[in-house]
Homo-oligomer: A and B are copies of this chain.
Amino acid sequence: MMNAMHIMIVEDDETLAREIKDFLMRWGYHAVIATHFDNIIEDFLNYKPHLVLMDINLPYYDGFYWCTQIRNLSQVPIIYISSRNDDHDKIRAMVQGGDDYVDKPFHLELLKAKIEAILRRTYHYKVKDQMRINQDIYYDKVKGSLYYQDHEIHLTKSESQIICLLLESQGEIVSRQALMEALWNTDEFISDNSLTVLISRLRMKLKEECHSEIIETKKGQGYYIL
C-alpha cells in the first residue's frame, strides 16, 4: 500500500470530483483534484499522475484540448468522463488519444475496473484486493486482516466477516439480524449476545491497535462503519 498510484481528477463539478476522489481513496489510490482550469498543465506537471480522469465539459478549454496538451508531454493514460451522454463526444474521445471513456452517472465498479485495467497494462501494476476505510486503515480480503499504517492487525475469522460485511454496504447500516444470518447458519441457535460480544472484541482491537473507533451503533437498527 506504500506506493499508491496517483490519479488526477480534472472535473469542475466539485461535488462529483469530491465523490470520485473519495472512492479512489477508498480503493487505495492517491488522488488529487485539479484546480487550475485555465492551466491544467501546471497541475499535471506538479502532481505527475499515473492516470488522468478528464471531464469533457470544462471552463476555459474542454477536455479534448487538455488531452492534446498533455499528449505533447506524456503518454499518461487518460480516461474521459462526460455527462453529455452524446455519441459525438464518445467518438471524438475515442479518436482523440484518450484511453477510455465513461459516462456520467457512471457505475463506480466500472470506473474501478477501467482504471485497474489501464494501470495493469500500462505499469504492470498488480491490483490489490483491498478496501480502504480511511487514510490509515484498510482491509485485505486475501489475508482477511486489517492494516493500520501498513502493519497488520490480525483478525479472527468472525471478525473479518463482520468488517467485510460492514465495508461491503459502504457505510450503510447493517442490521444485527443480517450480520447473524451471515455469520451463522440459520439452523444453529446462537445467542443474540454472541454478536454483541464479537462486536465488542472487534472494537477493542480497533481502539487498541488502530487508535480509532470506526464501528458505530444505531440502536434498534444495526451497525455501520465510518
Contacts and interface: CB of A to CB of B under 8 A. Distances in A.
Interface of A: 87, 90-91, 94-95, 107, 109-110, 112-114, 116-117, 120-121, 127, 129, 141-144, 152, 156-157, 160-161, 164-165, 168, 182, 185
A57 B151 CA distance: 51
- Choose among A109, A120, A182 the residue with the greatest number of B CB atoms under 10 Å from its CB: A109
B141 A141 contact: yes
A160 B182 contact: no
A144 B94 CA distance: 41
Binding site secondary structure of chain A: helix
Given A91-B87, A144-B161, A161-B142, A117 B107 contact: yes
Contact of A113 (B95, B113, B143): B113
Given A142-B165, A157-B160, 15 more contacts: A87-B91, A91-B94, A109-B116, A110-B114, A113-B113, A113-B114, A141-B141, A142-B161, A142-B168, A143-B182, A144-B157, A144-B160, A144-B161, A156-B157, A157-B157
Contact of A144 (B87, B107, B144): B144
6 contacts: A87-B94, A109-B116, A142-B165, A144-B157, A144-B160, A156-B157
A121 B107 CA distance: 9
Nearest to A143: B161
Nearest to A165: B142
A110 B113 contact: yes
Nearest to A90: B94
Contacts of A156: 157
A60 to B, nearest CB: 28
Contacts of A112: 113
Given A90-B94, A94-B90, A95-B87, A182 B110 contact: no
Contacts of A120: 107, 109
Contacts of A117: 107, 109-110
